[in-house]
Amino acid sequence: MTSVSSNSPRPRQAREANATFVLVHGVCTSSFMWAPIQRELALLGHRSFAVDLPGHGFDAQYSAAYQAPQDLDAWAAEPSELAGVTLQDNVDMVVDVVRRVAEHGPVVLVRASLGGTTITGVGNTIPDLGTGSSTSPAGRAWNAPTPSHTCRSPSSPTT
- The whole model's pTM is what? 0.70
Mean pLDDT in residue range 82-94: 93
In CATH, the number for domain 13-152 is 3.40.50.1820
User: Which pLDDT tens digit goes with each residue over 113-148?
Assistant: 888 899 999 999 998 876 555 433 333 333 444 555
CA distance 19 to 34: 17
Q: Which of 60-69, 93-102, 129-138 has the highest mean pLDDT?
A: 93-102
Q: Where are the domains of the chain?
A: 13-152
> Residue 46 burial by CB count (10 A; 0-12/13-18/19+): exposed, middle or buried?
middle
Question: Using 50, 70 and 90 to split pLDDT, how confident is the model at 1?
Answer: very low
pLDDT at 97: 96
CA distance 65 to 87: 27
Q: At what angle do helices 114-125 and 87-101 cross, to 10 degrees?
A: 60
